[in-house]
Amino acid sequence: MPKRFASIWFRHLLTDWKAIRQTGLKGKAYVFAEPDHGRMLITALTDEARKYGVTEGMTVADARVIAPDLQVFDGKPGRNLKLLTGLAEWCLRYTPLIQLDPPDGLLLDVTGCTHLKGGEKAFLQEVVSRLKAIGYDIRPAIADTIGTAWGVARCATTGLIVPEGEHRNALMPLPPSALRLPMNQLLKLRNLGLHQISSFIYMPNAVLRRRFGKDMVLRLQQALGQEVEYLFPLKEPVPYSVRLDCLEPVRTRTAIEIGLNDLLERLCKRLYGEGLGVRSAILTWYRVDGKNGNISIGTNHPSNRTQHLFKLFFIKLETIAPGLGIELFVLDALKTEPVNDKQSEIWSAGGGADSEEVAELLDRVAGRIGTAHINRYLPGEHYWPERTPKPYTNLKKKPESDWRTDKPRPMQILDHPERIEAMALTPDYPPKLFIWKGEQHIIVGADGPERIEREWWLEPGEHRDYYIAEDEAGRRYWLFRSGHYNAENNQHWYLHGFFA
Amino acid sequence: MTATKEEIISQLRQDMIRWEGFRPPQPGADNDLGLGPVAAAFPDGVFPTGAIHEFISSCPEDTAASGGFITGLVQKLLVSGGACLWISYTRRIYPPALKLFGVDPDRVIFVDVPLQKDVLWVTEEALKCEGVATVICETKDLSFTESQRLQLAVEKSHVTGFVLRKDVKKVNTTACVTRWQIRPVRSQLRTGMPGVGHPRWQVELLKVRNGRPGNWTVEWKKQDFQTITTPQLTEEARRYA
């Protein structure tokens, strides 16, 4: 398929933007000015200001003399880029491949996109009328090459759609400035009397290169399609992406659900055919009033089941604010992975913790409470009780070592050991009684001590001597004394857990 | 004639039990959870799987004892495969201890719900999932409606659910099949031996649908439940070390 490119030229990008924000300015003469070497130079101006004879690069003082009612606004460097980025995002509804074309244009790769709007003419008409409704005065053009589209948009007045293969003829009558050349070369061409591209298009490349440098030849060849030129898209296009253009703006939840289901079905069908599954996906919506937003999901296992992915989005659907209506949904599968072969799982009985259903369940739970709150524990190579269970979020990881069963461990453990008052009569013997939360527990049976040294390479501190103590009521506790026994009776006793 | 009447009545009883949500165990399935004499309290003498069991505890010591008892039951439920989810709001379970009750801690998926109100939502979702063998939910309150929802979820999916209610001040009616209260009691070693013995609990079955509530002393020994029938010896001057 031959490539087709569209170039959109915003004729008065900054001044139009100002007029959109301040409605009273429409039809007035006003300029943007930026400081330069201690003077205020005009950087952007309206047609009304131009009628007075004001031009770009003029100082504000001079302009005020010839146009007494001129309004001057402070310009900000980089504002046009910001505006263009916003407009490019808005234009993503027409094509996924858009490049900014500073200072005042956009380049769109519309190959295979225009028929969605009913042909190139209807496409351009829609772009013009939609942007005009917003308040931007634009001139678009479509051609086979980026260079021709750019030149035609800026320099031609008619024939904005250059038919396939006609770009050479379209370029002929245009002035050299249609070739994206620097000012000094344009002046040189004018001085030589080359007012039209047709006057030098047939000159041998060697001659042109000697006279004007290789850049000019490159630009000419790019415009003619003899040299390849690529777009550097604003957003990296996602290989698995589906879009849903709504005929009428969508506002109700039911309609959004139907739309989402339709998108997912198309995406899953495509992924299924290629043996892939979604690991993470993002649903972006574009509202009528130019706002957009997105919700994203992630899965444990690559999945191409529509129902499952729908459920994951369903939990988050309420965050969509349709406002006046949504006109476009785009569903991108950001991360895909090959789906596991399901055949092999048929033979395993029951299915373990990593079965499909459990993975889907955990995806739903993670969608609601976050992945960080779902853990598995594998044995950590540590003696220190707090580090013995090592948390993992991976469901498939197998333990590398066995769990220790030689020492009893409490069923319940406190996050932070709680200080208790304990009385031990003999050094290194378990306490006789302890007081926790105001209640006195008389110990009738105990095991211990089990000394656990602190891992000094990780943190400093005292070792712990653990005792299992059973009180009169049969309640079993895990107590420890921090550090050695000393006669001054200022040992620190802690309660760390409860045995079953 | 009388014999047929009895037969009819027993048949009707069986039907009633079934209508009330109890399903007879699948033929061939091993539903003996090693509870021994305790199992006689259940309808048909079989621990009801695919149902919700409620455990109440009023202090952390009871919670630990209930946790041990539940883990002992879960051990048998996990033999036939499936995942185990432990859902809680403020979790204090120490995973390595599960191994002492026969459950591999790495098979359990711990879901620490940051908001109390999400606990039951997660539990219900988990109970509906058929790849899950058992779900343990630690929560504080469980209203009748909430328990009904959980019970309805498991009747479809055959998952066994354990609801461990901590710090219960007021016990309300629930739709759970059983209600248990597990308390730790003095462990026992051979006479004259110091130290702490095997975990031993006073297991109270406060409520069981279509069964007979009861009260037992159960010990966890050699990876299995042992019901203690002999009265506990009172050993006043027991000393340690």
Beta pairing class for B200-208 and B214-221: antiparallel
Taking only the tens place, the pLDDT of each residue in B215-235 is 989 998 888 888 887 654 444
Helix, coil or strand: residue A337? strand
Nearest-Cα distance to chain B for A490, in Å, is 23
Which residues in A lie closer than 8 A to residue B67 (C-beta atoms)?
A: 411-412, 500
- If you measure CA to CA, which chain A residue comes closest to B77? A350
Taking only the tens place, the pLDDT of each residue in B171-197 is 888 888 899 999 999 888 877 777 888
Cα(A233)–Cα(A389) distance, rounded to whole angstroms? 47
Burial readout B141-159 (b: 16 or more C-beta within 10 A, e: otherwise): ebeeebbebbbebbbebeb
Provide the number of structural domains found in chain A: 3
HSE, side-chain direction, 13 A CA sphere, residue B97: 24
Which residues in B lie closer than 8 A to residue A358 (C-beta atoms)?
A: 83, 109, 129, 131-132
Beta pairing class for B200-208 and B178-184: antiparallel
Cα(A104)–Cα(A118) distance, rounded to whole angstroms? 27
Residue A491's domain spans which residues? 412-498
Closest CA to A411 of A492, A478, A471: A478
Closest CA to A45 of A61, A58, A35, A32: A32
Which of B118, B132, B197 is nearest residue A358 as measured by Cβ atoms?
A: B132
* Residue A348 pLDDT exceeds 70: no
Residues A233 and A258 in one domain: no
How confident is the model at residue B231, as a pLDDT?
54
Which residues in B lie closer than 8 A to residue A468 (C-beta atoms)?
A: 196
Q: Is residue A2 in a domain? A: yes
Q: Is residue B101 in a domain? A: yes
Domain-terminating residue out of A323, A343, A363:
A343
Which residues in B lie closer than 8 A to residue A411 (C-beta atoms)?
A: 64-65, 67-68, 71, 93-94, 97
How confident is the model at residue A477, as a pLDDT?
93
Residues A293 and A435 in one domain: no
How confident is the model at residue B197, as a pLDDT?
87
Give the CATH number, domain containing residue B167: 3.40.50.300
Residue B95's domain spans which residues? 36-228
Phi and psi torsions of B215, nearest 5°? -150, 125
Which of B68, B82, B110 is nearest residue A377 as measured by Cβ atoms?
A: B110
Contact A349 B81 (CB under 8 A): yes
DSSP class of residue A454? -
Taking only the tens place, the pLDDT of each residue in A191-214 is 988 888 888 888 888 888 898 888
Provide the number of structural domains found in chain B: 1
Output the DSSP codes for A77-89. TTHHHHHHHHHHH
Q: Is residue A170 in a domain? A: yes
Size of interface A-B (CB pairs under 8 A): 195
CA angle A133-A180-A233, nearest 5°?
Answer: 60
> What six digits make up the tokens of A474?
């049969």
Taking only the tens place, the pLDDT of each residue in B33-79 is 778 788 888 877 788 888 899 999 988 899 999 999 999 999 888 88
* Residue A498 pLDDT exceeds 90: yes
Residues A18 and A161 in one domain: yes
Q: Is residue A364 in a domain? A: no
Q: How many CB atoms sit inside 10 A of residue B167's CB?
A: 13
Contact A376 B109 (CB under 8 A): yes
Domain-terminating residue out of A343, A375, A404:
A343
Residues A84 and A206 in one domain: yes
Q: B191 in contact with A at a CB cutoff of 8 Å? A: no
- A 437-496: CB under 8 A from B: 444-447, 468-470, 472-477
Cα(A149)–Cα(A80) distance, rounded to whole angstroms? 21
Compute, in degrees rounded to 10, the torsion defined by CA atoms A282, A285, A291, A295.
Answer: -30
Q: Is residue B65 in a domain? A: yes
